[in-house]
Amino acid sequence: IFLALNVPLFEWVIENLIKNAIDAISGPGSIHIELSAKDAKWVEIDVSDTGKGISAKALKTVFRPGYSTKKRGWGLGLSLVKRIVEEYHKGKVFVLKSEKNVGTTFRIILKS
Rounded Cα–Cα distance for residues 42 and 22 (Å): 27
Rounded Cα–Cα distance for residues 78 and 74 (Å): 11
Do 47 and 105 meet the contact criterion of CB atoms below 8 Å apart? Answer: yes
Q: What is the pLDDT of residue 40?
A: 83
> What value does the mean pLDDT take over residues 56-83?
88
Which DSSP letter does residue 60 get? G
pLDDT digits (tens, 9 = 90+) for 12-31: 999 999 999 999 998 899 99
Q: What angle do CA 92, 22, 30 make, to 5 degrees?
A: 90
SS3 58: helix
pTM (2 d.p.): 0.93
Rounded Cα–Cα distance for residues 104 and 17 (Å): 11
Q: Alpha helix (H) ranges present in the chain?
A: 7-24, 77-83
pLDDT > 70 in the chain, percent: 100
Q: What is the CA radius of gyration of the chain?
A: 14
> What value does the mean pLDDT take over residues 1-20?
94
